[in-house]
Structures are given as structure tokens and as C-alpha cells.
């Protein structure tokens, strides 16, 4: 089954304790992204990756790191989490737009990770 998986689904942690949220996709997608969802703000992009070893900042990158060592994985790292990073996080992936076909337009989302930083 084609899917994007995230782990953990729920996480409660304390300020300053480093954490990693994993993301993996099995569709051989080139593009992967991380978004955070906050009430009244919709979803905002944190970081994205166009392919292995190619990453770039999105709209709200402060306090986050990412890496793309393998095509299927795109972990999100919070080196020193703070309460303002309490949010719902989504990983997403899709094909590069140079790929033909209507599927190139669609972005597949993971199930979300609810993070609470106290």
C-alpha cells in the first residue's frame, strides 16, 4: 500500500529535550516536506527536500532541522524543543513535476504527529 508513515503519532516532552520525528514513504517520491498545523493558521511548511541530500527552508524553519540521506526517509529534528513548537506535524511527499501524469500534482500526507512541549 502506497503511504507516508510518521512516528511517533503522539509525543509529550519537556523543554530542551532533543527529539526526532521520523517520516518514511514507499512511493519513490523525490519531494518530501514537513508542515505544522496550528489553529487559525492552517498548515505552514517547515522544510522541504527536492531529493537526497537536497533540503531547503520553508516558511517557518526556526528551531527545526532535517536531513535526507535516503530517498524514502525525511526525519524532522527538534534540537531544543520549546513550548511554541507544540503543534500537529505532517510529513508529505510527491513526485517531481517533471514526472508525467496527473499523480505528479498530488501530495500524499502522513497521519500526523501531535507534539506537546511542556
Q: Could you list the residues that contact other proteins (CB under 8 A)? A: 31, 33, 35, 40-45, 48, 50, 58-59, 88, 90, 92, 94, 97-98, 105-107, 109, 111-112, 114
| Residue 67: C-alpha distances to residues 4, 49, 92, 99, 117 (Å) | 17, 8, 15, 24, 22
Q: Which is nearer to other proteins, 19 or 104 (CB)?
A: 104
Give the H or E element holding residue 5: strand 4-7
Q: Which is nearer to other proteins, 17 or 88 (CB)?
A: 88
Residue 30 CB, nearest approach to other proteins (Å): 10
Q: Which is nearer to other proteins, 60 or 78 (CB)?
A: 60
Residue 96 CB, nearest approach to other proteins (Å): 8
Amino acid at each position: 500500500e502506497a503511504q507516508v508513515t510518521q512516528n511517533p503519532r503522539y509525543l509529550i516532552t519537556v523543554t530542551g529535550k532533543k527529539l526526532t520525528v521520523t517520516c518514511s514513504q514507499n512511493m519513490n517520491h523525490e519531494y518530501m516536506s514537513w508542515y505544522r498545523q496550528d489553529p487559525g493558521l492552517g498548515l505552514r511548511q517547515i522544510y522541504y527536500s527536492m531529493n537526497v541530500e537536497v533540503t531547503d527552508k520553508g516558511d517557518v524553519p526556526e528551531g527545526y532541522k532535517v536531513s535526507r540521506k535516503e530517498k524514502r526517509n525525511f526525519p524532522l529534528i527538534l534540537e531544543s524543543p520549546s513550548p511554541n513548537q507544540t503543534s500537529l506535524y505532517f510529513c508529505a511527499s510527491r513526485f517531481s513535476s517533471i514526472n508525467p501524469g496527473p499523480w505528479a500534482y498530488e501530495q500524499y500526507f502522513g497521519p500526523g504527529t501531535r507534539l506537546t512541549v511542556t
